[in-house]
Chain A
């Protein structure tokens, strides 16, 4: 690998831009593609598939063996509600590889003491989410139980390609939430994207256990079932 290529790749990672390094396994010739602009169409299809699956792979292309090395930007998790469960969810998600942001306009909740070493936004949830611009590698979980905070966040989340959207609350709370969001113009298919109650049904009781259930469901949505 050329040093210039290595530096450009590290820069793309620092800038959180998606990068793909294509290396000819016979000659070592390499092409770095940042932000997706690329080669010929056939190879581009292979690259797109690898990026979407977030899996590097070797392909045979026009008699050459090429290694497509995918360097996607980190997964992101946006947690709305700096509540007790968030204190467990934030470190767990970090260990699982997520870049976490906590959103809560209530200063007593979103204090630095409660959330050391994590990015905290004290903006109103809809403004915060719009600024964070969730992409297809972003998960969004609302935990406040307060429609004033959860609903605006979910409204923005549903307009984004986020791969996982979940909202804490009982089935009854969730039904009411869906009714309110429907009046904002979201159809049933869109509303079905919200996982509610949040998390796999593990019978979780404590905040930490609920966090485990949420991380588990988020992992399944990412890795196993894109329709889930």
Chain B
């Protein structure tokens, strides 16, 4: 089973348990970004998560937005510029820009 399979399977399992679930996907990157396009993160209402959309820089913000998306049901397209300082703080060698699409799993 590859990485995307297990994350999507987790999304399906959590949904089947009746939890609210949102899926975040890296849809575009500029410069050096820690995770490639297609990388995914699944989040539930309690903040449980699996996968990643960065090396840890933006996961906190993505989870906050994911909770909103679970509430409203409307998808969001998020832009992040990861500064070199921020990147350094979370242990990444360099920054970059990423665009992340967050949607509710209905």
- Pair B8/A28 contact, Cβ less than 8 Å: no
17 A-B pairs, CB-CB below 8 angstroms? Answer: A1-B106, A3-B12, A3-B15, A3-B106, A6-B12, A6-B105, A10-B5, A10-B9, A13-B4, A23-B101, A25-B27, A25-B77, A57-B37, A58-B28, A67-B27, A71-B4, A74-B2
CA distance A28 to B23 in the complex (A): 12
- Pair A13/B105 contact, Cβ less than 8 Å: no
State the majority secondary structure of interface residues on B: mixed
Binary contact readout A9-28 vs B (1 if CB under 8 angstroms, 0 otherwise): 11001000000000101111
Name the residue of chain A whose CB is nearest to the CB of B105: A1
Tell me, yes or no, whether B91 is within 8 Å of chain A by CB: no
- Pair B101/A67 contact, Cβ less than 8 Å: yes
CA distance A23 to B101 in the complex (A): 10
Report B53 CB to chain A, min CB distance, Å: 13
- Pair B38/A70 contact, Cβ less than 8 Å: yes
Query: In the complex, what residues of B have CB within 8 A of residue A57's CB?
Result: 28, 37
Tell me, yes or no, whether A7 is within 8 Å of chain B by CB: yes
CA distance A218 to B12 in the complex (A): 34
- Pair A2/B101 contact, Cβ less than 8 Å: no
- Pair B5/A56 contact, Cβ less than 8 Å: no
Name the residue of chain B whose CB is nearest to the CB of A21: B25
- Pair A58/B27 contact, Cβ less than 8 Å: yes
CA distance A57 to B2 in the complex (A): 19
3 pairs of A and B residues whose beta carbons are closest in the complex: A56-B38, A28-B75, A67-B27
B-to-A contact residues, CB < 8 Å = 2, 4-5, 8-9, 11-12, 15, 23, 25, 27-28, 37-38, 74-75, 77, 99, 101, 103-106
Tell me, yes or no, whether A69 is within 8 Å of chain B by CB: yes
Name the residue of chain A whose CB is nearest to the CB of B22: A1
Report B16 CB to chain A, min CB distance, Å: 9
From A1, A2, A23, A57, name the one whose CB has the most chain B CB atoms within 10 angstroms.
A1
Report B100 CB to chain A, min CB distance, Å: 10
Report B20 CB to chain A, min CB distance, Å: 12
Query: In the complex, what residues of A have CB within 8 A of residue B75's CB?
Result: 25, 27-28
Tell me, yes or no, whether A36 is within 8 Å of chain B by CB: no
- Pair B8/A97 contact, Cβ less than 8 Å: no
Query: In the complex, what residues of B have CB within 8 A of residue A13's CB?
Result: 4-5, 8
Name the residue of chain A whose CB is nearest to the CB of B38: A56
Report B21 CB to chain A, min CB distance, Å: 9
Query: In the complex, what residues of A have CB within 8 A of residue B77's CB?
Result: 25-26
CA distance A6 to B12 in the complex (A): 7
- Pair A3/B105 contact, Cβ less than 8 Å: yes
Query: In the complex, what residues of B have CB within 8 A of residue A64's CB?
Result: none
Query: In the complex, what residues of B have CB within 8 A of residue A55's CB?
Result: 37-38
Query: In the complex, what residues of B have CB within 8 A of residue A67's CB?
Result: 25, 27, 101
Looking at the complex, which one of B9, B23, B99, B104 makes contact with A58 (CB distance below 8 Å)? B99
Report A111 CB to chain B, min CB distance, Å: 26
CA distance A58 to B101 in the complex (A): 11
Looking at the complex, which one of B12, B38, B105 makes contact with A69 (CB distance below 8 Å)? B38
